[in-house]
Chains A and B, each alone.
Chain A
Amino acid sequence: MIDPNASVLLEVRGLTATVAGVEILKGIDLTVRAGEVHAIMGPNGSGKSTFARILAGHPAYEVKSGTVRFEDRDLFELAPEERARRGLFLGFQYPVEIPGVSNSAFLRLAYNTVLGARGRDELDPLEFDDLVREKMKLLDIDTSFLDRSVNDGFSGGEKKRNEILQMALLEPRVAILDETDSGLDIDALRVVANGVNHLLTPENACVLVTHYQRLLNYIVPDYVHVMEGGRIIMTGDKALALELEARGYDWVVEAHKGRDKAAA
Chain B
Amino acid sequence: MTVTAIHPCVEALLQGSRGLPRMPLAWLNARRGAALERANALTVPTARDEEWRFTDITPLTRIVFRPAAAAPRLGMSDIAQYIAPEATAHLAFVDGVFVPELSANAGLPYGVVVTHLTAAFGTHAAVIEPHLARHAAFERDLFAALNTACLRDGAFIWIAKNQRCPTPVQLLFISTQQETAAHPRCLVVVESGADCTLIEDHVGVGDGAYFNNAVSEIVVGERARVQHVKLQREARSAFHIANSAVTLAKDATYTSNAVTFGARISRHNLAVVQQGEGATCRIDGLALISGRQLADTHTAIDHARPNGKSAQLHKCIVGDAAHAVFNGKVLVRAGAQLTDSAQQSRNLLLSPKAHVDTKPQLEIFADDVKCSHGATVGQLDTEHVFYLKSRGLSEERARSLLTYAFGAEVIDRIPVPSLVEHLERAVLEQTQARPQAGGEAS
Contacts from A to B (Cβ < 8 Å): 56-60, 79-81, 83-85, 89-90, 92, 95-96, 98-101, 106, 108-110, 112-114, 116-117, 122, 149, 166, 170
**Which residues of chain A come closer than 8 Å to B382, judged between CB atoms?**
59-60
Q: List 28 A-B contacts (CB under 8 A).
A: A57-B390, A58-B386, A59-B386, A79-B395, A80-B390, A81-B389, A81-B390, A81-B395, A89-B390, A92-B390, A96-B384, A98-B384, A98-B401, A98-B402, A99-B405, A100-B404, A101-B404, A101-B408, A106-B401, A109-B393, A109-B440, A110-B391, A110-B392, A113-B397, A114-B392, A116-B441, A117-B392, A117-B439
* A245→B145 CA distance, assembly (Å): 78
Report the Cα distance A84→B386, complex, angstroms.
11
Assembled-state Cα–Cα distance A231/B391 (Å): 28
Total interface residues on B, using CB and 8 Å?
27
Does residue B394 face the partner (Cβ distance < 8 Å to A)?
yes
> Per DSSP, are chain B's interface residues mostly helix, strand or loop, or mixed?
helix
**CB of B381 within 8 A of chain A?**
yes
**In angstroms, how far is the closest chain B Cβ from the Cβ of A226?**
26
Asked if B387 is at the interface (CB within 8 A of a chain A CB), the reply is yes
Q: Give A134 to B268 CA distance when docked, in angstroms.
A: 50
Q: Is B156 an interface residue (CB 8 A)?
A: no
Chain A residues near B395: list those with CB within 8 A. Answer: 79, 81
Q: Which residue of B lies closest to A109 (CB)?
A: B441
Cross-chain contact B404 with A113 (CB below 8 angstroms):
no
Give the chain A neighbours of B408 by CB distance below 8 A: 100-101
Contact A90:B390 (CB < 8 A) given known A96-B384, A100-B409, A101-B404:
yes
Cβ B404 vs Cβ A84 within 8 A: no
Residues of B contacting A90 in the complex (Cβ-Cβ under 8 angstroms): 390
Inter-chain CA distance A29–B157, complex, in Å, is 75
Write out, one digit per residue, whether chain B residues 386-420 have a CB within 8 A of any chain A CB (1) or not (0).
11011111110110011011111100100000000
B381 and A57 form a contact (CB under 8 A): no
Q: How far is the CA of A100 from the CA of B315 in the complex (A)?
A: 13
Task: Check A84 against B406 for contact (C-beta < 8 Å).
Answer: no
* Separation of A109 and B389 alpha carbons in the complex (Å): 12
Flag if A112 contacts B441 (CB, 8 Å).
yes
Query: Distance (Å) between the CB of A139 and the closest chain B CB?
Result: 17
Return chain B residues, CB-CB under 8 Å to A166.
391
Q: For the complex, give the distance between the alpha carbons of A145 and B384 in Å.
A: 19
Q: Is B383 an interface residue (CB 8 A)?
A: yes
Which residues on the A side are within 8 Å of B397 (C-beta)? 113
Alpha-carbon separation in the docked complex, A163 to B389 (Å) = 14
Closest partner residue, chain A, to B439 (CB atom)? A117
Q: Is A92's CB under 8 angstroms from B389's CB?
A: no
Q: Please, how many angstroms separate the alpha-carbon atoms of A60 and B404 in the complex?
A: 25
A-B CB proximity, top 5 nearest:
A100-B405, A112-B441, A100-B408, A114-B392, A110-B391
Docked-complex contact A56 and B441, CB < 8 angstroms: no
> Nearest-CB distance from A200 to chain B (Å)?
20
Whether A113 contacts B392 by the Cβ 8 Å rule is yes
CB distance from B400 to the nearest CB of A (A): 11
Residue of A nearest to B391 (CB): A110
Cα A108 to Cα B401 in complex, Å, equals: 13
A116 engages B386 (CB within 8 Å) = no
A50 to B384, CA, bound (A): 17
Q: Which residues of B contact A79 (CB under 8 A)?
A: 389, 395
CA distance A90 to B440 in the complex (A): 20
Q: How far is the CA of A98 from the CA of B395 in the complex (A)?
A: 16
Q: How far is the CA of A166 from the CA of B386 in the complex (A)?
A: 15
Instruction: Kindly name the residue among A90, A96, A114 whose own CB sees the greatest number of chain B CB atoms within 10 A.
Output: A96
Check B389–A84 contact: CB distance below 8 A.
Answer: yes
Q: Which residue of A lies closest to B382 (CB)?
A: A59
CB-based contact A57/B439 at 8 Å: no
CA gap between A170 and B402 in the complex, in Å:
21
Q: Which residue of A lies closest to B410 (CB)?
A: A100
Task: Fill in one digit per residue for B90-120: 1 if any A CB lies within 8 Å of its CB, else 0.
Answer: 0000000000000000000000000000000
With A80-B389, A113-B439 already in contact, 17 other A-B pairs whose C-beta atoms are closer than 8 Å: A80-B390, A81-B392, A81-B394, A81-B395, A84-B390, A89-B390, A98-B384, A98-B405, A99-B409, A100-B407, A100-B409, A100-B412, A101-B401, A113-B393, A114-B391, A116-B440, A117-B392
Shortest distance from the beta carbon of A172 to any chain B beta carbon, whole Å: 11
The residue in chain A whose Cβ has the minimal distance to the Cβ of B387 is A96
**Nearest CB of A to B167, in Å:** 27
Residues of A within 8 A of B407 (CB): 100
Among residues of B, the one whose C-beta sits closest to the C-beta of A80 is: B389
Provide the residues of chain A in CB contact with B384, threshold 8 Å: 96, 98
Asked whether, in the complex, the Cβ of A113 is within 8 Å of the Cβ of B441, the reply is: yes
Rounded to whole Å, the gap between the CB of B383 and the closest CB of chain A is 5
Residue ID in chain A nearest B403 by CB atoms:
A100
Residues of B within 8 A of A95 (CB): 387
Contacts of A170 in B (CB 8 A): 391-392
Complex Cα spacing A55 to B394, Å? 17
> How far does the alpha carbon of A101 sit from the alpha carbon of B404 in the complex, in Å?
8
Min C-beta distance of B304 to chain A, whole Å: 34
